[in-house]
């Protein structure tokens, strides 16, 4: 086991009456890629958002790089962590380059534009062709690539991805998954990825975390999960996704 | 030190000297005779060396009276019957002397306002029919009318329909029940009668139109209508500060007969002669000023006085061309009223909309409350404000400002609230501060909706600003109000056409601004 870069310790969060996180505990190592899976309402996205303080837990402790997030300025914390939402979230009135350069620009980095261009190249979007376009002139896959480029522009050590490829067709999704996996390994990114798709979780996650009703049901390497499901729920989930038949 | 004080004192004296005495503010209500009497007062004062400022065509009795009471104006012509019923809310008196002494005592006691001795003529209500109708139905008196009213349609001013000495009164006194009653504005009732759209109207005994359309005035055989003696009404300030002016005004008392007034009104209303010319001629005939009129156009701020000779009956185009310099000035004034009030509304409604979007709690309630302002009729809003801020440009700006708030506020709130949630959430997640989210995401995304609100407000504002004429704030409403009062359609159009064009231009200009705002910087 390496150094724990992200940690959630007995984290609880309620939205009104319904409980989203119920004493969830999870530790993620440096350069590890972790996929959070589970049904809708299992608490995957809520847990993800605790790491960059988009959500403040009621109890429990969340720490990033060894520091309790409550002791860190949320704005600076978010700028230091890459974030990719399902719908790219690119600002429609800005050019692609301005969107991709936004994080270093917010930090006042004079080289923001160059970082943006580099990042575009990194995700496979030619800056020459794409820098000046508007988000609406891009295909769905290109928009998600641009969103990934935005997340990586300042080369953060951590990236949070909230169902980043969920809305794409199968072929485009496979391309983007490959790009992401390659970058994650090359850059040594610590990645937390929320997905509905168990196959995607197995392909992209060094570890797969099965969540259910706000708790971590099982967290294990794909092979271990397949070999030894910890609970009947995990078995059922694997059966339903037919991952084992592959 | 002493020397410095002396210099200061000297400077103070010089400044006071430069400012000069405050001019006498002469006003009128928006109908021909009122314009004419006010202009005669004004020229008489100028002949005695007083500086005069004209605020002619103020909205209605309530507006003019409130303005006088608060010293926003110094003088306007009023009628004893109106003072008794509309202002004191008392029942009309049949005896002219009794009516005058009652209003004179009460106005002085309650508000320090003085009724000058009556001008000499009565201008009571006159119920008129077409001559042909009178002959066919043998109508000579109101008692005759009661007999035939069941077959006749009346076109009456809203004022007459409502006041106790109007329609309710003649119903009671004569038992007159018309087949139908239509509310008509003073500006259109004579044309409506002449064209046969209605059969009976209410007018004033001295109206020039009675002769013009050869109408028959039915005799008030039961002496129901109270006496409406015309007289100058003088505010407290003028009595206190310029008693000599009050004395000068009394020269007109008792000098104007009904015959004289009907003739003068006819020149103004029917022949469309300029009011200042008619006023000067009348004063000269009475020997109160020298022939030729000493003061024409001196401190001339009214639209009425600018009309060319009524003999000139050229095309509308020629008229507009002749009026071009005046219209340009009025348009500029109009534009200023719109621009200043709109800018103030943007400065208030935009931040307020953004604030409400942040708190949300009281948002709908607040916006609805502001929306309620929209339902207050313009003239009523102006009347409410006179006791607070008087008349002129400031209350006009306040009214226009209030009317502009709602569309801007509503659109700002809705636009920012509905800004693309994906973009907003992502902006927060990548580390934008709340102010940066507002500045770089919410506002630009809401810009088209906000601009639509501002454009709506601007166009409404251009139209509403014509109301400013009712409180002496100028603008393109001046010729509209004066034209309506004097039944001069060219004059009305000379205000209405530039106002319409102005609305188009303002909207197009803001369209360009919107395009610039939307463009990526």
Three-class SS of A189-233: CEEEEECCCHHHHHHHCCEEEEEECCEEEEEECHHHHHHCCCCHH
pLDDT at B242: 92
Residue A106 and residue B444: Cβ atoms within 8 Å? Answer: no
Among A78, A93, A94, select the one facing B430 at the smallest CB separation: A78
Give the CA radius of gyration of chain B. 27
Among A52, A87, A91, select the one facing B427 at the smallest CB separation: A91
pLDDT at B11: 45
Nearest C-alpha neighbor of A4 from the set A239, A207, A163: A207
Nearest CA to CA, how far is A20 from chain B (Å)? 19
Nearest CA to CA, how far is A223 from chain B (Å)? 33
Residues in B touching A150 (Cβ below 8 Å): 430
Q: Is B202 helix (H, G, I), strand (E, B) or coil?
A: strand
* Percentage above 70 pLDDT, chain A: 97
Strand blocks (E) in B210-291: 215-218, 230-234
Residue A7 CA to residue B460 CA, distance in Å, equals 59
**Predicted confidence (pLDDT) at residue A85 exceeds the cutoff of 50:** yes
- Residue A201 — pLDDT band, cuts 50, 70, 90? very high
- Residue A107 CB partners (closer than 8 Å, separation 6+): A79, A154
Nearest CA to CA, how far is B404 from chain A (Å)? 28
Residue A90 and residue B423: Cβ atoms within 8 Å? Answer: yes
Domains defined for chain B, CATH in brackets: 25-122+228-313 (3.40.190.10), 125-218 (3.40.190.120), 324-518 (1.10.3720.10)
Retrieve residue B215's tokens.
């109408």
Residues in B touching A87 (Cβ below 8 Å): 422
Q: How many CB pairs under 8 A join A and B?
A: 59
Residue A106 and residue B426: Cβ atoms within 8 Å? Answer: no
Helix B258-269 × helix B32-47 angle, to 10°: 100
**Residues B28-67 pLDDT 10s:** 988 889 999 999 999 999 999 999 999 888 877 888 898 8
Retrieve residue A68's tokens.
């309790």
Residues in A touching B429 (Cβ below 8 Å): 52, 54, 78, 83, 85, 89
Nearest residue in chain B measured CA to CA from A76? B431
pLDDT at B3: 52
Place of tokens 């008229």: B319
- Torsion angle in degrees (nearest 10) through CA of B344, B345, B350, B356: 120
Place of tokens 């409400």: B356
Nearest residue in chain A measured CA to CA from B434? A75
What string of DSSP letters covers B291-306?
TT-S-TTTT---SGGG
CB A131 within 8 A of CB A95: yes
Among B430, B433, B520, select the one facing A103 at the smallest CB separation: B430
Residue B486 CA to residue B275 CA, distance in Å, equals 10
Residues in A touching B520 (Cβ below 8 Å): 93-95, 98
Per-residue pLDDT of chain B (521 residues; tens, 9 = 90+): 445 544 544 444 444 444 457 899 999 988 889 999 999 999 999 999 999 999 888 877 888 898 899 898 999 999 998 898 888 888 777 788 888 999 999 999 999 999 999 999 988 888 999 999 999 999 999 999 999 999 999 999 877 888 777 898 899 999 999 999 988 877 778 888 988 889 999 988 888 888 788 899 999 998 888 888 999 999 999 999 999 999 999 999 999 998 899 899 988 888 888 899 999 999 999 998 876 544 444 434 444 444 444 444 567 888 888 888 889 999 999 999 999 999 999 999 999 998 888 777 788 888 999 989 888 888 788 777 777 887 788 888 999 999 999 999 999 999 988 888 899 999 999 999 988 998 899 888 998 899 999 999 999 999 889 888 888 788 898 888 888 777 778 888 999 999 999 999 999 999 888 887 766 54
Residue A184 CA to residue A37 CA, distance in Å, equals 19
CB A131 within 8 A of CB A97: yes
Q: Which residue of A89, A96, A100, A137 to mutate against B (max B Cβ within 10 Å)?
A: A89
Three-class SS of B79-146: EHHHHHHHHCCCCCCCCHHHHHHHHHHHHHHHHCCEECCCCCCECCEEEEEEHHHHHHHCCCEHHHHH
Residue A203 CA to residue A217 CA, distance in Å, equals 20
Residue B430 and residue A54: Cβ atoms within 8 Å? Answer: no
**Burial class, B15, CB count within 10 angstroms (exposed 0-12 / middle 13-18 / buried 19+):** exposed
Domains defined for chain A, CATH in brackets: 4-80+157-241 (3.40.50.300), 94-155 (no CATH)
Residue B429 and residue A150: Cβ atoms within 8 Å? Answer: no
pLDDT at B313: 53
Residue A85 and residue B429: Cβ atoms within 8 Å? Answer: yes
Residue A83 and residue B433: Cβ atoms within 8 Å? Answer: no
pLDDT at B298: 42
Nearest CA to CA, how far is B429 from chain A (Å)? 6
Residue B429 and residue A92: Cβ atoms within 8 Å? Answer: no
Residue A21 CA to residue B347 CA, distance in Å, equals 44
Helix (H) or strand (E) holding A34: strand A33-37
Nearest C-alpha neighbor of B398 from the set B384, B409, B410, B412: B384
- In B, what residues contact A, Cβ < 8 A? 420, 422-423, 425-433, 436, 440-441, 444-445, 518, 520
Nearest C-alpha neighbor of B235 from the set B108, B356, B351: B108
**Residues A206-243 pLDDT 10s:** 999 999 999 999 999 999 999 999 999 999 888 887 76
Residues in A touching B431 (Cβ below 8 Å): 75-80, 103, 106
Return the biggest CA–CA distance within chain B. 91
ipTM greater than cut 0.90: yes
- Residue B251 CB partners (closer than 8 Å, separation 6+): B44, B288
Residues in A touching B423 (Cβ below 8 Å): 89-92
Residues in B touching A103 (Cβ below 8 Å): 430-431
């Amino acid at each position: 086991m390496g150094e724990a870069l992200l940690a959630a310790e007995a984290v609880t969060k309620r939205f009104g009456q319904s409980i989203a996180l119920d004493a969830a505990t999870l530790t993620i190592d440096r350069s590890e890629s972790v996929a959070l899976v589970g049904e809708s309402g299992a608490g995957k996205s809520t847990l993800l958002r605790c790491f960059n303080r988009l959500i403040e837990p009621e109890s429990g402790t969340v720490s990033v790089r060894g520091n309790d997030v409550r002791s860190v300025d949320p704005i600076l914390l978010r700028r230091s962590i890459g974030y990719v939402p399902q719908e790219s979230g690119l600002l429609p009135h800005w050019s692609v380059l301005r969107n991709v350069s936004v994080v270093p620009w917010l930090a006042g980095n004079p080289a923001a534009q160059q970082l943006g261009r580099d990042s575009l190249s990194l995700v496979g979007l030619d800056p020459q062709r794409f820098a000046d376009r508007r988000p609406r002139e891009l295909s769905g896959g290109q928009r998600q690539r641009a969103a990934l480029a935005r997340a990586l522009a300042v080369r953060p050590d951590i990236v949070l991805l909230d169902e980043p490829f969920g809305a794409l067709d199968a072929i485009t999704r496979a391309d983007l998954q490959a790009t992401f996996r390659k970058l994650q390994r090359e850059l040594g990114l610590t990645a937390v990825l929320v997905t509905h798709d168990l196959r995607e979780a197995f392909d992209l996650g060094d570890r797969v975390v099965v969540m259910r009703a706000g708790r971590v049901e099982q967290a294990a390497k794909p092979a271990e999960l397949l070999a030894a499901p910890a609970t009947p729920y995990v078995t059922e989930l694997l059966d339903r996704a037919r991952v084992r038949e592959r | 030190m002493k020397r410095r004080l002396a210099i200061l004192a000297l400077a103070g004296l010089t400044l006071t000297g430069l400012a000069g005495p405050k001019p006498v503010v002469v006003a009128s209500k928006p109908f021909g005779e009122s314009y004419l009497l006010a202009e005669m007062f004004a020229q008489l004062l100028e002949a005695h060396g007083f500086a005069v400022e004209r605020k002619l065509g103020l909205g209605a009795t309530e507006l003019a009276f409130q303005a006088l009471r608060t010293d926003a104006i110094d003088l306007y012509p009023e009628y004893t019957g109106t003072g008794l019923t509309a202002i004191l809310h008392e029942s009309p008196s049949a005896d002219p002397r009794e009516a005058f002494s009652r209003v004179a005592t009460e106005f002085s006691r309650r508000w320090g306002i003085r009724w000058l001795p009556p001008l000499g003529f009565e201008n009571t209500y006159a119920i008129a029919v077409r001559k042909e109708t009178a002959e066919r139905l043998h109508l000579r008196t109101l008692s005759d009318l009661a007999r035939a009213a069941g077959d006749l349609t009346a076109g009456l001013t809203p004022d007459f329909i409502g006041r106790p000495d109007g329609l309710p009164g003649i119903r009671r006194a004569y038992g007159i029940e018309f087949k139908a009653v239509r509310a008509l504005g003073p500006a259109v009732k004579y044309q409506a009668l002449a064209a046969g759209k209605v059969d009976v109207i209410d007018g004033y005994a001295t109206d020039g139109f009675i002769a013009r359309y050869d109408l028959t005035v039915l005799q008030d055989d039961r002496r129901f209508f109270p006496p409406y003696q015309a007289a100058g009404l003088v505010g407290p300030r003028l009595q206190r500060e310029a008693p000599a002016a009050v004395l000068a005004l009394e020269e007109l008392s008792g000098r104007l007969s009904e015959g004289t007034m009907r003739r003068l009104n006819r020149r103004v209303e029917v022949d469309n002669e300029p009011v200042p010319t008619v006023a000067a001629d009348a004063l000269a005939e009475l020997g109160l000023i020298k022939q030729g009129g000493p003061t024409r156009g001196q401190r001339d701020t009214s639209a009425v006085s600018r009309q060319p000779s009524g003999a000139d009956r050229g095309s509308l185009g020629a008229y507009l061309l002749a009026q071009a310099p005046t219209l340009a000035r009025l348009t500029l004034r109009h534009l200023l009223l719109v621009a200043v009030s709109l800018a103030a509304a943007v400065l208030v409604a935009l931040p307020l909309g953004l604030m409400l979007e942040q708190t949300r709690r009281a948002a709908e309630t607040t916006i609805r409350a502001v929306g309620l302002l929209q339902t207050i009729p313009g003239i009523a809003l102006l009347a409410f404000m006179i006791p607070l801020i008087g008349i002129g440009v400031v209350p006009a700006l306040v009214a226009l400002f209030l009317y502009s708030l709602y569309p801007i506020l509503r659109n700002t709130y809705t636009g920012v609230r509905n800004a693309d949630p994906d973009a907003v959430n992502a902006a927060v997640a990548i580390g934008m501060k709340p102010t940066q989210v507002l500045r770089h995401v919410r506002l630009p995304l809401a810009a088209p909706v906000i601009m639509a609100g501002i454009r709506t407000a601007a166009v409404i504002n251009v139209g509403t600003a014509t109301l400013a004429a009712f409180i002496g704030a100028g603008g393109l409403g001046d010729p509209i109000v004066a034209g309506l009062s004097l039944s001069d359609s060219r004059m009305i159009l000379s205000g209405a056409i530039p106002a319409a064009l102005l609305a188009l231009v303002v909207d197009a200009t803001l369209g360009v601004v919107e395009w610039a705002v939307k463009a990526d910087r």
